[in-house]
Amino acid sequence: MLSIGKLSAVTGVKVPTIRYYEEIGLLPEAERSAGNQRLYGVKAQERLAFIRHSRELGFPLDDIRELLSLSDQPDMSCAAADVIATRQLGSVKDRIMRLRALQQELERMLTQCAQGTISDCKVIEALGNHENCLHASHGEV
């Protein structure tokens, strides 16, 4: 059994995040020692590693919750997991497209810069007036 600190060290997930995952039900409530210290077994460690890897791939918590639920049913078809992964792939592709547009806009701003004074700076001008951007709608990345 691992303490929360040791679980954190083994998985690379911060202690407050582990507590949060317990609070929202992604991790089951930990067993407690006689001194009321949280104790985690191998299953909790594996589940936390699953959550961490899913987060690294950008999956939202609700999708992770659904994937965890699916992983608890090993004989079930994987079609639902494929749908979730396909949706995440679409989200990643969309984010990449927006990042490329942002890259092009920043490159354009820098190309137009004459290295003069701030009063003539195209970077400052473009940032001050969104209409000077080629891509009028950058959106959140």
- Tell me: the pLDDT tens digits for 47-100? 999 999 999 999 999 999 999 999 989 898 999 999 999 999 999 999 999 999
User: How far apart (Å, rounded) are the C-alpha atoms in residues 54 and 51?
Assistant: 5
Type and span of the H or E element at 140? none
Determine the length of the chain: 141
User: How far from 18 is each of 109, 126, 127, 128, CA to CA, in Å?
Assistant: 43, 43, 39, 42
CATH 3.40.50.300 fits 2-57, yes or no: no
pLDDT of res. 118: 74
Residue spans of the domains in the chain: they are: 2-57, 93-132
Nearest to 141 by CA among 76, 91, 82: 91
Among the residue ranges 30-34, 43-47, 48-52, the one predicted with the least confidence is: 30-34
> pTM of the full predicted structure?
0.76
